[in-house]
Structure 1
Amino acid sequence: MSGEGGEPQAIRKLRPGKLVIASHNPGKVREIAALLEGHGLDVVSAAELDLPEPEETGTTFVMNAELKARVAADLSGLPALADDSGMCVEALGGDPGIFSARWAGERKDFGAAMRLVQDKVDAIDGASRDAHFVCALALAWPDGHVEWFEGRVDGTLVWPPRGDKGFGYDPMFLPEGRDQTFGEMDQDEKHAISHRADAFRQLVAAVF
């Protein structure tokens, strides 16, 4: 966790009221809203406020989450929570990583993105199928203060994709110790073990 500029600071508490989820991804907004239930927040998405999607120019998940949160907080005048997450494949040197959404193209075709991951791994003799998801959360206030949190879950890739309950790369990711992909799991079960849930546990413990 850090404050503005990456320097450690005392955790700032988040008061009940309006909070912007700095995302235009409906699936991600639904997951975040569910994880925030019960904390007295009136959640609104960046899309609902017609806020622009900033270009993600950061080189890490944390940098991109902070960039998105700062822009949303500045433009809305409200606290804003941004998530930057992605799947990192060991055999691909950590790709698609921070470029996970971009691998799906402007049309957000994650079917094609999953196929691209599979094809690249298949092209490597004896490639490991180990992968992990990372989720970085950045909580920004209009005065520029930022807190961030990072979660992770490990697993392996499966092919063909299984399930239609998640989004993104969920159908091809089998979390460690489980027999269902994220795409097959009920959302409550996924929320209990996911990278996003890990990051949210840290956030909730710190700011509420």
Structure 2
Amino acid sequence: MKLQTLLIVEDNASFGRSLVAALESQVPDVRLVASVAEARQALESFSPSALLLDVCLPDGGAIDVIAIAATKTPVPHILAMSSEAGPEQAFLLAQRGVRAYLQKPFPLAKLEATLGALDELVDEVPAPLSHALGRESLPEIEERTRRALVNDALARGNGSINAASRILGVSRQTLQHILRRQRAS
């Protein structure tokens, strides 16, 4: 994968600058912030392809930044790094969409390989869907997923069917048909 944009959220200034210096020859637009507040501000005007997050930040943590990033369209690929997080926290991060976890200190080659493998990581089944495998039939999973996506698109479109249909990439008529089927079931 050739990343075009990367936002690094790291509160250790010298380590953050080292990451930027190491990656700016490979990623055209690398930006560095040091807190949840700075990440929130950066994400208001910047849509990175990926986020590289320190798990522990002075005003919160990676979970806070992930929640902010989840509002972006498209949602950026998320990688986490820490010298302090344990297995439980790494598992929680994975449930929230973190694609890879790097234990600090890590060699630059490992970070480069992880960033390069993002395309392959995207093809994994998201955790909530994977959990349903074997417990629900494929049509049940499809219906639940469709319902969630339609509801999310309607919420993002402030209840407008026209806006939601644009978000979903379907015609207004198709969305109306889906909504009628949902109401009938």
Q: TM-score, normalised by structure 2?
A: 0.35
Identify the structure with bigger relative contact order (alpha carbons < 8 Å, sequence gap 6+): 1
Structure showing greater Rg? 2
Normalized per residue, which structure has more strand? Answer: 1
